[in-house]
Chains A and B, each alone.
Chain A
Amino acid sequence: GAGVSQSPSNKVTEKGKDVELRCDPISGHTALYWYRQSLGQGLEFLIYFQGNSAPDKSGLPSDRFSAERTGGSVSTLTIQRTQQEDSAVYLCASRKTSGGSYEQYFGPGTRLTVT
């Protein structure tokens, strides 16, 4: 079946511009996560959505970062006034919360380059 998809795959933007990154989770997965991966680093948690509950925003690095999840499915991560240090791969993952598994299924990521 279809996995997690993300768009765009690559995004180059000028410093100070706003960007929107999109994530389409696996159908039926109620949990959705955003991570950031800098070059040669591990995954840094950003935000978590679970059903209709308030999102866990504890990983967002600044108020320039925000995310929405509409209708419990598609999610958009927005970065306002981008800075060069925002350059990274942004990964989305979804999880099926029934069945007791913690496995997260990852999309291919969006590579963001801020010039």
Chain B
Amino acid sequence: GESVGLHLPTLSVQEGDNSIINCAYSNSASDYFIWYKQESGKGPQFIIDIRSNMDKRQGKRVTVLLNKTVKHLSLQIAATQPGDSAVYFCAENTGANSKLTFGKGITLSVRP
């Protein structure tokens, strides 16, 4: 069936470096994508979203890139900080009841 997946289960980066978290999706009908951050013991928190009619969207220290040709989504975090350590999930919306289909998540670990 259709699925959203992440390429790597864990990512370790040096504090101050840029982080790139990748996500592949397979449903070409998906019209909206979102990144969530989940810290230990907490619910997922919104980071940034992007609609399918866009290629790039920037927030504060974060950028989401969407490549519809290869069905690829990425989250870039500039100047990674220890507080960025968490599990990151990408999710897609296909329009049916606005249900989000989540990937399994990738753990970002920031080394001091």
Contact = CB atoms under 8 A, between A and B. Distances in A.
Partners in one complex: yes
Interface of A: 4, 31, 33, 35, 40-43, 45, 48, 50, 56, 91, 93, 95, 97, 101-109
A108 B43 contact: yes
B49 A106 contact: no
Interface in B55-112: 89, 91, 93, 97-105
Most buried by B among A50, A91, A105, A106: A106
B43 A48 contact: no
A43 B102 contact: yes
Contacts of A33: 99
Nearest to A43: B102
B44 A91 contact: yes
A91 B43 contact: yes
B41 A31 contact: no
**Chain B contact residues: helix, strand, loop or mixed:** strand
A28 to B, nearest CB: 16
A31 B89 CA distance: 21
A43 B44 contact: yes
A107 B32 CA distance: 22
Given A4-B43, A102-B49, A108-B42, A45 B99 contact: yes
Contacts of A101: 49
B101 to A, nearest CB: 7
Interface of B: 32, 34, 36, 41-46, 49, 89, 91, 93, 97-105
A106 B99 contact: no
Contacts of B105: 40-42
Contacts of A35: 102
A102 B32 contact: yes
B90 to A, nearest CB: 9
A97 to B, nearest CB: 8
A40 B34 CA distance: 20
B44 A106 contact: yes
Contact of B46 (A31, A105, A107): A105
Contact of A42 (B32, B45, B46, B102): B102
